[in-house]
Amino acid sequence: MHTTILELVTRFAQASTDKEFDPDTVTPGIWGFVATALVAVAVVFLGFDMVRRIRRTNYKAEISERLEAELAARNAGEQPAAPDAPATPGAASARPAEPDAPASGPDTKP
């Protein structure tokens, strides 16, 4: 048995020394390029999907915070302030009227 193993090792050693190894000719070939390109495309698509999911999660958290604040204000007996309402009473006249809204105020004519 040792003789067979020794003979196989000797043949392998002789066969490998017949050709000289040139590290410049070793390339991954077309299949290596295809595999690398597929991995790169998959990473890009996973990145887009991750960003979409993170945005969706942030929007859901933002909406739930607004709803909780609105419910807390409603339970406390307060009216929640509208986000586009003017902060001062005089600011209402300075804001331009919407085109579809009926005109009202001291400087409008009937």
**Exposure class string for 89-105: b at 16+ Cβ within 10 A, else e:** eeeeeeeeeeeeeeeee
Alpha carbon distance 72, 80 (integer Å): 9
Q: Is residue 57 scored above 60 in pLDDT?
A: yes
> In which residue are the tokens 């066969």 written?
15
Domain extents in the chain: 45-78
Considering the entire predicted model, what is its pTM?
A: 0.43
State the pLDDT at residue 18. 53
Q: What is the pLDDT of residues 19-56, one digit of tens each?
A: 676 777 778 889 999 999 999 999 999 999 999 999 99
